[in-house]
Structure 1
Amino acid sequence: MIRAITSKKASNLPDTPEEWKGRIDYVDLDGRLAAMASRPEMAGLAVAIVENGELRFVGTYGVLDRTDGSPVTPASIFRWASVSKTVTGALAANLASEAAIDLEQPVSSWKSSLRLPGGAETRLTFAQLLAQQTGLTKNAYDEKLEEGENPADLRARLFAAPLQCLPGTCHTYQNIAFDDASEILAQAAKRPFADAVSERLFLPLGMTSATYGMAGLTGAKQWARPHNGAQVRTLRDAYWRVPAAAGVNSNIVDFARWMQAMMGQQAKVLPESTLRITHMPRVATQNLYGGALRQANSDASYGLGWRNFTYDGHRLAGHSGAVDGYRATMIFEPATRTGAVVMWNSNWGRPFRIPFAVMDSYYGKADSQWLDFSDLPPLASTPDAEQ
């Protein structure tokens, strides 16, 4: 069945094919998304599309758990993984707009656990921390976090970690160091980090399913189990313990609400001035993703927990994330307020292509190949199909 919130006929979209040309073909996308979810590499998939600022489509496919076949629904809770960094950047900008924090003050101005080589925490600004400019080698000490070590202890030991560049001079992606923001922002807000996010952002935006921590996922009535192909993975709390970097859970509708807020659709909560602070490019980065997607984007940069890049002549923005058994992405075009949020409970990387297929559909690009699976082994025929 079609999972569009509003069909073309029921909405205020143009009625004639000529007027409709260049707009998103939800019927075609729905079929392709269902085909993707049927792949053996997948378990469940949730997709929401915002077109011209309006939530037009929510699609849910596949299962929450391959062992019992429970279906994904719009109420199902998934993990945002590193898309959580966009929330941290927004909270920092929100507090900066109230003069509760100075983004240009060094990290050492606050009582936090981060220690960098050569005492660089006394020079690295909070804005540079959020823009991933610590200089540390990529994902420093993540393996120790996954082994169960305390993130604050790890931050205190980063002074001995190798550098990729001098702090403040390049982009080097981090989780443990980035989560120093949870300590700093809690002090600025005068309440625990997760509470500050909920009070200032999630609840005012109506994001009632959005939570931090493992209990926020597993305590939900419907939650997606992590998968690697057909295997259900053991749930681990490692990256929930760095909440500013990777702590958020929600359903797909609330994920779409967050994207709309990032588009400027909720100015009472996140005014344009605050979003400008969050989204402003601060450091150049490598192109995003890998393979064909890496070749298709250019001019990439990072803001406060935020990515910007160019695809097919269009300036796009957002973030993506991955932890074991879960993936998530939020990509949109600020100029048209059009884009997609996607969450899935498997380690397969192909669904990262979905927002690009959405943008191709919006612009009527006939040769879009992002949701073409002809390069993959064909699915095994079912007994019904053989009859």
Structure 2
Amino acid sequence: MKSLHHLIIIAFALTTWVVQANPDSEQLRWEQFVNAYSKQLKQKLKEKSIPGAALSIVHQQHGDHIAGIGQTKVKKGRNVTANTRFRLASVSKTFAGSLTAKLAAQGVLNLEDTVAEHLPIFSESAYGKAKLYHLLSHSSGLVPNAYDNLIESRMAYDKIYPRLVDVKHICRPGICYGYQNVMFSLIGNVIAQTTQLSYESWLEHFFFAPLGMKDAGLGHAHMTRDDNFAAPHVRGTKRWHTARLKPHYYKVAPAAGVNASAADMGQWLKAQLGIYPSVLSLDALTIQSRPYTHTKRELRRRVWRNYVEQAHYGLGWRIYSFSGELMYYHSGWVQGYRTDVAVLPELGIGFSLLLNAESGVINGLSTEFIRQAIEFSRTAREQADAQAAS
């Protein structure tokens, strides 16, 4: 089995493979695959009565499939379109990771700097020597989900994060994995302090605008600026109920603050595939995908047990070996929403699925796409090799 490090090197050392045998036929096969998957997805969403979804599928050679599905609300909602905003929840972390990698590649940030060098309040804390990459790879040494309870209170972020000083560490930085939201979001403070430009401004001017992510933004006010947003839904005894859009996790913008549409996510996937090097360079993509933290618990995830052979956390991205293929992945979950994003860089394929309902159906739907996409690509490779040999 190829090591994860070896997979990453291959992904960026080689250009995307080009199908030599009958490209028109290959294009048709891809379109048939995507259409069949889309039909399967819609049927499954209908079975589970999911109100709405945003689907984005990108292939570096064969084009995009961008679709809004269903309704923004179960009652009196409007049709979900490619431009309907969804809450990304923890998929927001991919933006923080990519931005930090971009700044590191440009020499603006040094990932080896300690957090305390940028935020002196942490100089005397038990984890004061944690480095910037520890923040983004969940290896700072804190107990998992430190102060998530305060995120869910009325307390402002500026009142929450200083309390991290008093949190006892469970291991030295870099030793153990502990998923964070407040600690992760300190990268926003670091970026603002270092560049004199807010985290929100960085995303807007250096990601959203140049990528044409016209519907993307941060925060509750952005989400509700008009009625073209997917409202959250929670499960009752027999059906889905529209819930109030809660502001809590918008406090931690790097961890969970981004809103985006299917069209936006298509552009984000392309950036991750290296299609827009002026936005995300090869150096930045390489930095963000280094396997900083081992996350062996992910190997036991029920729907992925038979597929994921290696699991790590990079900068804001989970880095997996999925059936032998390098994959960047992240999921998100806040009240009323479930989200998934996956990138197969060696295959030139990206996938995003956003739901405005807290349903586990997303697990099977995402896994099935990834499995089928890998199968499609391997078949195409075999056909190209056979054609070249004949």
Instruction: Tell me the TM-score normalized by structure 2.
Output: 0.83
| 2:186 corresponds to which of 180, 198, 201 | 180
Please say if 1:308 is aligned against 2:319. Answer: yes
Aligned to 2:379: none
Aligned to 1:331: 342
Q: How much does 1:196 deviate?
A: 1.4
Distance, in Å, in 2 between the alignment partners of 1:13 and 1:75 is 34
The residue identity in structure 1 corresponding to 2:87 is: R
Please say if 1:258 is aligned against 2:264. Answer: no
Paired residues for 1:1-387 under 5 Å: 14-16=23-25, 25-40=33-48, 42-52=50-60, 55-111=63-119, 115=122, 119-229=125-235, 230-288=240-298, 290-364=301-375
| CA distances 1:83-108 after superposition (whole Å, capped 9, x unpaired) | 11111112112222232221111001
| CA distances 1:51-81 after superposition (whole Å, capped 9, x unpaired) | 2355421232221101214221111100111
Q: Is the 8 A contact 1:22 1:361 kept in 2?
A: no
Structure 1, unaligned stretches of length 5 or more?
Answer: 1-11, 366-387
The residue identity in structure 2 corresponding to 1:182 is: G
Q: Which has the higher helix share?
A: 2
1:339–1:232 Cα change, 3 Å = same
Q: Is the 8 A contact 2:174 2:293 kept in 1?
A: no
Q: How much does 1:345 deviate?
A: 0.4
Distance, in Å, in 2 between the alignment partners of 1:312 and 1:98 is 34
Q: How much does 1:20 deviate?
A: 5.8
The residue identity in structure 2 corresponding to 1:335 is: E
1:190–1:160 Cα change, 3 Å = closer
Q: Is the 8 A contact 2:102 2:284 kept in 1?
A: yes
Q: Is the 8 A contact 1:22 1:362 kept in 2?
A: no
Aligned to 1:6: none
1:234–1:189 Cα change, 3 Å = same
Q: How much does 1:295 deviate?
A: 4.9
The residue identity in structure 2 corresponding to 1:248 is: V
Q: Aligned to 2:331, what secondary structure does the other structure show?
A: strand
Q: How much does 1:325 deviate?
A: 0.5
Q: Aligned to 1:322, what secondary structure does the other structure show?
A: strand
1:126–1:232 Cα change, 3 Å = same
Identity across matched positions, percent: 28
Distance, in Å, in 2 between the alignment partners of 1:317 and 1:223 is 27
Distance, in Å, in 2 between the alignment partners of 1:30 and 1:182 is 37
1:22–1:191 Cα change, 3 Å = closer
Q: Is the 8 A contact 2:319 2:326 kept in 1?
A: yes
Q: How much does 1:155 deviate?
A: 2.0
1:54–1:139 Cα change, 3 Å = farther
The residue identity in structure 2 corresponding to 1:301 is: H
Distance, in Å, in 2 between the alignment partners of 1:295 and 1:144 is 37
Q: How much does 1:158 deviate?
A: 2.2
1:13–1:120 Cα change, 3 Å = farther
Distance, in Å, in 2 between the alignment partners of 1:271 and 1:39 is 42
Instruction: Tell me the TM-score normalized by structure 1.
Output: 0.84
Distance, in Å, in 2 between the alignment partners of 1:215 and 1:53 is 37
Aligned to 1:371: none
Q: How much does 1:304 deviate?
A: 0.9
Distance, in Å, in 1 between the alignment partners of 2:59 and 2:32 is 8
Distance, in Å, in 2 between the alignment partners of 1:13 and 1:336 is 18
Distance, in Å, in 1 between the alignment partners of 2:368 and 2:48 is 21
Aligned residues: 351
Q: Aligned to 2:190, what secondary structure does the other structure show?
A: helix
Cα RMSD (Å): 2.4
Q: How much does 1:185 deviate?
A: 0.7
Q: Is the 8 A contact 1:130 1:178 kept in 2?
A: yes
